[in-house]
Amino acid sequence: MKKNNRALNDAQKFSLVRREAIYTGLALVGLIIFWLVAGFGTASLDVKIFHIPLWAVLGTVGVWLVAIFISALLSQKLFTDMDLEGDDDGK
């Protein structure tokens, strides 16, 4: 994950958090598209892997693996570490 070595003020933290929420929303859209294409999109293909239709493999395990990749990408690359205490917390 991104390391943040400088002290952020509240405005910068909230701006970062907003951006991270947008990344998460976009990741969701990407995953929904993958889910549609991987499942319904390949349902007409007569291909099986270990006796399971391709659409079912891609639409279940495939979606899970993509979700893991997305979570790793978000949490390890796009999200930033920050101190959760604010400028004037508790005052």
Residues lying near another protein in the complex (CB under 8 A) are found at 1, 9-11, 13-14, 17-18, 20-21, 23-25, 27-28, 31-32, 35, 39-40, 43, 50-53, 55-56, 59-61, 63-64, 67-68, 70-72, 74-76, 79-82, 84-86, 88-90
**Which tokens in the block code for residue 90?**
């508790």
Give the nearest distance from C-beta 6 to another protein in angstroms: 15
Give the nearest distance from C-beta 80 to another protein in angstroms: 8
> Looking at beta carbons only, is 7 or 75 nearer to another protein?
75
Find out whether 42 and 54 touch, Cβ atoms under 8 Å. Answer: yes
Give the nearest distance from C-beta 44 to another protein in angstroms: 10
The DSSP result for 61-90, as a single string, is: IIHHHHHHHHHHIIIIIISB----S-TTTT
Q: Which long-range contacts (CB under 8 A, 24 or more apart) does 58-65 make?
A: 59/35, 62/34, 62/38, 63/31, 63/34, 63/35, 63/38, 63/39
> Looking at beta carbons only, is 6 or 81 nearer to another protein?
81
